[in-house]
Amino acid sequence: MDKSEVKRIIDEHIRFMVWDMQLQKWEIETTLDVLEDGDHAVCVADHSYSRASITIDYTRCKDEADVLSTLRHELSHILHAPFDTYRRSIRHLVQDDGAWEAMEHVYKTAAEQTRTAIENMLRYGYGIMPGKRADYVAPSVNPYAEEPEIPHGGAITP
C-alpha cells in the first residue's frame, strides 16, 4: 500500500477507534514512516500528559484490515500507559542489570499478552472489529452521532 492510502484509512477510522477504546482525553499523533528495526509500528505514550505518538511503517501494511488491526494494537498500548509509567519509575531501584533485563522481558511479555487480550475482547467478546462501525447507534456524545444527544438531566454518559 502506498503512504497516502494508509493515511486515508487512518484518518477515516481513528476517531471512531479512539471512541471505542475510550481514549478521547488523549492527544494522539500518528506518523507514517519506514521503521528500520523491523517493527510494524511503535507507540510512545506519556500517561502524565495524556499524549501519545504512533508511528506505523506504511511499507509493511498489506491491506485496510492490516492497517486497522495495527492501529488498534498501537492504541491498546495507550491503555497500558500507566503500567509503563510505573515500570520507568522503578528502574533506579534495580541495581543489577541482569535482574532488570529479566524483569523487562517478563513485563514486555505480560504487556503484549494483555494488549492481545484487550484486542480479542473487543473483537470476539463485543464484536467490535477494528475501524469505524457502520451499524453503530449513538447512545451519547460521540463521533458516531450526527448531532450530540444529551441524556435527561444534561449529564453526558458513556
Residue 135's pLDDT is what? 62
- Say if domain 3-134 classifies as CATH 3.30.2010: yes
Mean pLDDT along residues 50-62:
97
**Residue 119 pLDDT level (bands cut at 50, 70, 90):** confident
Mean pLDDT along residues 70-82:
93
Residue 146's pLDDT is what? 60
* Digit-coded pLDDT (tens) for 102-117: 999 999 999 889 988 9
Are 1 and 32 spatial neighbours (Cβ–Cβ below 8 Å)?
A: no
Domain ranges of the chain: 3-134
Residue 66 has pLDDT above 70, yes or no: yes
Residue 152 has pLDDT above 80, yes or no: no
The whole-model pTM stands at 0.77
Scanning the structure block, which residue is given the C-alpha cell 510505573?
Answer: 86
Average pLDDT, the chain: 85
Residue 155 has pLDDT above 90, yes or no: no
Mean pLDDT along residues 85-89:
86
Residue 75's pLDDT is what? 95
Residue 20's pLDDT is what? 86
Mean pLDDT along residues 4-12:
96
Cell output for 86: 510505573
For the chain, the three-class secondary structure string (H helix, E strand, C coil) is CCHHHHHHHHHHHHHHHHHHCCCCCCEEEEEEECCCCCCCEEEEEECCCCEEEEEEEHHHCCCHHHHHHHHHHHHHHHHCHHHHHHHHHHHHHCCCHHHHHHHHHHHHHHHHHHHHHHHHHHHHHCCCCCCCCCCCCCCCCCCCCCCCCCCHHHCCCC
Mean pLDDT along residues 83-103:
89
Percent of the chain with pLDDT over 70: 84
